[in-house]
Amino acid sequence: MIDDDEDVLLAAKMLLKKYNHQVIIEKNPNKIPFLLNNDTYDVILLDMNFSKDTTSGKEGFEWLKQIKERDPQAVVIMITAFGDVEMAVRALKEGATDFILKPWQNEKLVATISTAIKLKQSYLEVDKLRRAKQMLEEQISQPFKDMIGQSVALKEVFTLIDKVAKTDANVLILGENGTGKELVARAIHQKSLRKDNSFVSVDMGAITETLFESELFGHKKGAFTDAREDRPGRFELANRGTLFLDEIGNLSMNLQSKLLSALQSRQVTRVGANQPTEVDIRLICATNMPLQQMVKDGRFRQDLLYRINTVEINIPPLYERIDDIPMLTTHFLNYYSKKYHKEVLSITPEAMSKLKKYPWPGNVRELQHSIERAVIMADSPTLQESDFLFNRKANEAVNDSLNLDEVEKSAVAKAIQLHSGNISKAAEELGLTRASLYRRMEKYGL
d(CA 38, CA 361): 61
Helix (H), strand (E) counts: the chain = 19, 14
Residue 325 has pLDDT above 90, yes or no: yes
Q: Is the pTM of this model over 0.85?
A: no
Domains of the chain: 6-126 (3.40.50.2300), 142-316 (3.40.50.300), 319-444 (1.10.8.60)
- Measured over the CA atoms of residue 438, residue 440, residue 445 and residue 446, the dihedral's sign is negative
- Digit-coded pLDDT (tens) for 269-290: 998 888 888 999 999 999 999 9
- Report yes or no: 427 and 436 within 8 Å, Cβ to Cβ: yes
pLDDT band at 246 (very low <50, low <70, confident <90, very high): very high
d(CA 131, CA 385): 45
- Digit-coded pLDDT (tens) for 164-201: 999 999 999 999 888 999 999 999 999 999 998 889 99
At 27, phi and psi to the nearest 5? -85, -35
pLDDT band at 391 (very low <50, low <70, confident <90, very high): very low
| Stretch among 86-90, 127-131, 334-338 having the lowest mean pLDDT | 127-131
pLDDT band at 245 (very low <50, low <70, confident <90, very high): very high
What is the CB neighbour count within 10 angstroms for residue 201?
A: 17
Residue 360 has pLDDT above 50, yes or no: yes
Peptide bond into 103 cis (omega under 30): yes
- Digit-coded pLDDT (tens) for 403-438: 666 677 878 887 887 777 788 888 877 777 777 788
CA dist list (Å): 380 to 10, 287, 354, 374: 72, 40, 18, 11
352 SS3 class: helix
The pLDDT > 70 percentage for the chain reads: 89
Quote the pLDDT of residue 310.
94
